Structure formats: C-alpha cells, structure tokens
Amino acid sequence: MKLKKIKVNNEFFSIYFNKGVFMPTATTDFLIKDFLKKNYKIKNKKILDLGCGSGIISIILADKIKNNTFFASDISNKAVMCSKRNFLNFKINGEVKKGNMLKPWSNYKFDYIINDVSGISSSLAKKSKWFKNVPALTGADGTSLTLSVIKNSIKFLKNKGCLYLPLISLSNEKKIIDIAKKYFKKIKIISKNYWFLPVDLEKHTTLLNKLKKKNNINFEYKFGKYVCYTKVLELKKN
Ligand SMILES: C[S@@+](CC[C@H](N)C(=O)[O-])C[C@H]1O[C@@H](n2cnc3c(N)ncnc32)[C@H](O)[C@@H]1O
C-alpha cells in the first residue's frame, strides 16, 4: 500500500492506494460536490459509501461535514484494506466491511446511501485503465449492479432516507431511470456534467459505435472527441 497525493474536489489529499484499487475520477468529484451541495448542514446521520474503493468519498465528506458516521464497503479485498487504513489515518468515525453489494449491511439502516459501484458497460470497462483489476460485472449496458442497488436499497434506508448515484452515459441511462421511478417516490437530477472519453478508450471506435447503436451507451462526437456525461441522481424514499 502506498500513500498518494491526489486532487479531489479541488483539494489535495494523501490517500493510501494499492494496485487494483480504483483511482478517483471526475465522477467521484461530481458525487461529492452534489452531495455536499444538498447536505452541507447534516449532523448525526448514518452515511453508506457503497463501492467505496479507497474510501475517498467518506474521507472528503467526513472532512467537510462533521459529527456523522460513515459506513463503507466494497467487493474488492484490496479496496477494503485501503479504506480501512484510510479510515484509521483520517480518524473517521465509522466502519468498513468487505462484501457484495448491500450484503454486508443486513440489519443496518442509513440516512443516506451514496452508490458508486461500477456503472459503465463491462465491454468498455475491460478495455479501460480505470478498471484494471477492478471488479466490474456490470453487463454490456453497464446497468446490472446499479439496478440491483436501486431495487434493494429501500429496505436499507430510514424513513426520509435518500440514495445518491451517478448516471454515466457509458451505460443505458433510460433503463436506470425507469427502474428508479418504479422504486422511489421522488427523483431529481441534481447535475449533468460533461467530460471527454479518455484516450485509452478513444481507439475502440467500432466497439463504441456498436454499443451506442444498441442503446447500451450514449455519447456525442464533437471537436474530434467523444463527449460523455455523468448525471448525479437523488432518489428519495418518501
Ligand atoms: C467506480 S469505482 C468507485 C470507487 C470510489 N468510490 C471512487 O470514487 O474512487 C467502483 C467500485 O465498486 C466496486 N464494486 C464492483 N462490484 C461490486 C459489488 N458487486 N459489490 C460491491 N462493490 C463493488 C469496485 O471494486 C470499485 O471499487
């Protein structure tokens, strides 16, 4: 495990990482920024960081909103080891567990769940540096893990609880929104943020066009670049 200085939410933090642990991306930033925008005054709340990787979302939130408890989990052993070390290092009040999806949290209820489990087309994840040795059994349209979280999180949320998740255009957006509407009372898109596809994925033109044709992903081709986006969704239980 190595300490790395990384920039998240416009600030530098020294975080423990291991090979095979997800390095935060722009989507990490969007989730943090939007969660803080909506919840900057919260206290005494239980917050679940699902698909925690290095634990970065809990680390930044714990620094900005005091007196809350953070719970973090991931299916990857390496990610859990890093998160545990980072929780200790940053003296974060809470606990870290290893496990598939929401399984580690039976009998727990949260005020907020921030879902960041892998959420792009598995065909692209396999080719991407982002997901080198990082689990991403997401299906060709990138939705299988996200849909499972949406369907199951209601019972892990307290009354008035809220689920936050990124909707990445490298997945089937409509499928996710349709299921979210079925399971949650109120749905809000907090932000839509554009970004360019990284160079390592740009070269897979045939695959990108094939996935887009099947509505598995979405992008625009502009300025000689693939333009993608992440929307941040807020789903309220009641
Ligand atoms: C996009 S990364 C996000 C990591 C971290 N939140 C960040 O922003 O750096 C997705 C994470 O989901 C985890 N993951 C993938 N499948 C999972 C599953 N079935 N259950 C729990 N976590 C999973 C991966 O190991 C990875 O750490």
For the CA of 118, the closest atom of ligand 1 is: 10
In tens, the pLDDT along 73-103 reads 999 999 999 999 999 999 999 999 999 999 9
Atom 27 (ligand 1) nearest CA: 53
What CATH number is given to the structural domain containing 31? 3.40.50.150
Share of the chain above pLDDT 70, in %: 100
Is the model's pLDDT at 59 over the cut of 90? yes
What pTM does this model have?
A: 0.97
Q: What is the mean pLDDT of the chain?
A: 97
pLDDT value at residue 173: 97
Closest CA to 72 of 39, 102, 40: 102
pLDDT value at residue 196: 97
Domain count, the chain: 1
95 Cα–ligand 1 center, Å: 17
18 Cα–ligand 1 center, Å: 14
Q: What is the mean pLDDT of residues 98-123?
A: 98
Q: How far is Cα 90 from Cα 85, in angstroms, rounded to an integer?
A: 9
168 Cα–ligand 1 center, Å: 14
pLDDT value at residue 215: 97
175 in Cβ contact with 146 (< 8 Å): no
Lookup result for tokens 């932000």: 191
Query: In the beta sheet, which residues pair with residue 17?
Result: 2
For the CA of 138, the closest atom of ligand 1 is: 16
pLDDT value at residue 105: 98
10 in Cβ contact with 23 (< 8 Å): no
Our mutation pick for probing the ligand 1 site, out of 74, 83, 120, 132, counting the most ligand atoms within 8 A of Cβ, is 74
- Range of the structural domain that residue 100 is part of: 2-236
224 Cα–ligand 1 center, Å: 31
The alpha carbon of 196 is separated from its chain's Cα centroid by a whole number of angstroms, namely 18
120 Cα–ligand 1 center, Å: 11
In tens, the pLDDT along 15-45 reads 999 999 999 999 999 999 999 999 999 999 9
Output phi, psi for 86, to 5 deg: -70, -35
For the CA of 100, the closest atom of ligand 1 is: 20
DSSP character for 156? G
159 burial level (CB within 10 Å; 0-12, 13-18, 19+)? exposed
In tens, the pLDDT along 140-158 reads 999 999 999 999 999 999 9
Output phi, psi for 52, to 5 deg: -75, -20
Q: What is the pairing mode between strands 69-74 and 94-98? A: parallel
6 Cα–ligand 1 center, Å: 18
Q: What is the mean pLDDT of residues 129-139?
A: 96
Q: How far is Cα 34 from Cα 29, in angstroms, rounded to an integer?
A: 8
What is the band of 223 on the pLDDT scale with cuts at 50, 70, 90? confident
Our mutation pick for probing the ligand 1 site, out of 32, 48, 54, 76, counting the most ligand atoms within 8 A of Cβ, is 76
Cα angle 119, 124, 126 (rounded to 5 degrees) comes to 95
Could you give the 3-state DSSP secondary structure of residue 212?
A: helix
Closest CA to 70 of 42, 87, 98, 47: 47
Q: What is the mean pLDDT of residues 56-85?
A: 97
Is the model's pLDDT at 62 over the cut of 90? yes
Q: What is the mean pLDDT of residues 91-117?
A: 98
What is the band of 52 on the pLDDT scale with cuts at 50, 70, 90? very high
